[in-house]
Amino acid sequence: MSDPDIRQVLREFLETQSTLALATVNAEGHPETAPVFYVSDDQFNLYWLSGTSVAHSVNLSAHKQVSGNVYPAVWQWGDIVGLQVKGEAQTISDERVREQILLIYLRKFQLPPSFDNMIASSTLYVLRPTWLRWVNNSVTFGHKVEIELDKNI
């Protein structure tokens, strides 16, 4: 599969999934993982909403380097597919960008109005990946494709 083809496969995969298992590092240097609903863009940036006092947000304020996984739940080894990600996470402070991402987020998740205040008070974060690994056991056990990303994708 050529590079442009795999990038399209990854974009379509990210559109069909909902949850990023986000791995951060706490103040003691220990890893922690948290599931977060995300939306993505064409550059594979992953965006999510969180409160600033939750553990993964506190961790991000000290350690920007993160990793994560997006994958569906399956029961057969041959059905395992998923995307592993490494990169840097940060808050989005630009209100215009926040509004654009929130429109995408609310279209994808269709949250009830009772979530409006929680969303309004949440911080928007982005994971800007530098590395991706696509795993697809339906091709063959352990099949992987890795992509190093730069700012010019």
pTM here is 0.92
Going residue by residue through the chain (153 aa), what tens digit of pLDDT does each one get?
556 699 999 999 999 999 999 999 999 999 999 999 999 999 999 999 999 999 999 999 999 999 999 999 999 999 999 999 999 999 999 999 999 999 999 999 988 898 999 999 999 999 999 999 999 999 999 999 999 997 544
Within the chain, residue ranges assigned H as helices are: 3-16, 55-62, 95-109, 116-121
Average model confidence (pLDDT) across the chain: 94
Every domain of the chain and the residues it spans: 3-148
- Taking the C-alpha atoms of residue 66 and residue 85, their distance in angstroms, rounded to an integer, is 8
How much is the pLDDT for 86? 98
- Taking the C-alpha atoms of residue 22 and residue 70, their distance in angstroms, rounded to an integer, is 9
Burial group, residue 70, by CB count within 10 angstroms (0-12, 13-18, 19+): buried
Element (H, E) at 83: strand 81-91
| Topology (CATH) of 3-148 | Pnp Oxidase; Chain A (2.30.110)
